[in-house]
Amino acid sequence: MPLPRVRSLAATLLLATATGPALATTTHTPSAQVPGVYHQQIGTLQVTALFDGTVALGRQELTGIDAGAVTRLLDHRYVPEDGKGLQTAVNAYLVQRGNHLTLVDTGTATCFGPGLGQVLGNLRAAGYDPAEVDDVLLTHAHPDHLCGLLDAQDKVAYPNATVWLSAADAAYWLDPASEATAPQGVRFAFALARKAVAPYEAAGKLRRFSPGQVLPAGVTALDSHGHTPGHVSWKLDTGNGPSLLVWGDIVHFHAVQFAQPQAAYEADSERTAAVASRRAMMAQAADGGWWVAGAHLPFPGLGHVRREGEAFAWVPGEFAPLPGR
């Protein structure tokens, strides 16, 4: 191409740019996050993680580990932290086996204030009707796991569901006598637990059980007490692959407790037992190649555990489209 023609073309382009319409600008600023819903096909199970919100847990609430070690473990892990503490997710899990729906834990509902209580709305956003839920499996009776049995109007959220709560946790958290002798900091939780389960119990839909007893098909309760007297982790048969372990409050500080499983949480009712349960659940999940769903792991909280020497590491699941989509 002759040089004069190149200059002519460049001049034309510059003129068009200078005299053309102004670039469009946007005034839109997102004010809400997308619905907290994530689907994962695990064997024959359709698992839907449901985000409830976040709570702040202070690093000083870790025990059995010195503050310097906590700082080193948190360094460059980028866990959001403010003056109230480290950002900690609250998750629940809906498991579909054929036409049967099982919800594991229910979130906080109105028990913990604004920014939480999103499980019921996210379940609807995922396309499910709460009336379709057949079973609710509770890992334990703390407010962030069972308050969501009721909706924002304190009505039954899952009218057709049978609720499963370990006999040990029921005996403790539903008994006013236990409340009188409990540490002052947890006494508020007793009334919340009684209120949440009351309408289900009145309707004959509260089932107390002990690990090893008959439960809904494909479900096994693993004794993982320590965080509460009757804390259980739920192992679900996936049909044609590794099991799914929904382990409740085995971990609260993911950046610390995988690498240092002996680090306990001051809210654990029996810290030595909680540490033993954490080691046992992590070892079984790692050795079995199980999928893990964690109530306080970063949403969606689905992934695997691997061994690292005498300790462990969290391996988040990779985003994947659903089969046939």
Confidence (pLDDT) at 229: 98
**Residue 190 in tokens:** 């007793």
Tens digits of residue pLDDT in 137-162: 999 999 999 999 999 999 999 999 99
At 56, is the pLDDT very low, low, confident or very high (cuts 50, 70, 90)? very high
3-class secondary-structure state, position 229: coil
**Residue 131 in tokens:** 């009336």
CB 234 within 8 A of CB 219: yes
Omega within 30 of 0 (cis) for the link into 300: yes
Tens digits of residue pLDDT in 271-303: 999 999 999 999 999 999 999 999 999 999 999
Alpha-carbon span 107 to 104, nearest angstrom? 9
Q: Which element (helix H / strand E) includes 244?
A: strand 244-246
Confidence (pLDDT) at 113: 84
Over range 11-26, report the average pLDDT. Answer: 61
Confidence (pLDDT) at 1: 47
Over range 18-42, report the average pLDDT. Answer: 84
CB 246 within 8 A of CB 233: yes
CA 108 to chain centre: 11
- 142 C-beta neighbours (distance < 10 Å), count: 25
pTM of the entire predicted model = 0.92
Confidence (pLDDT) at 271: 97
Confidence (pLDDT) at 22: 62
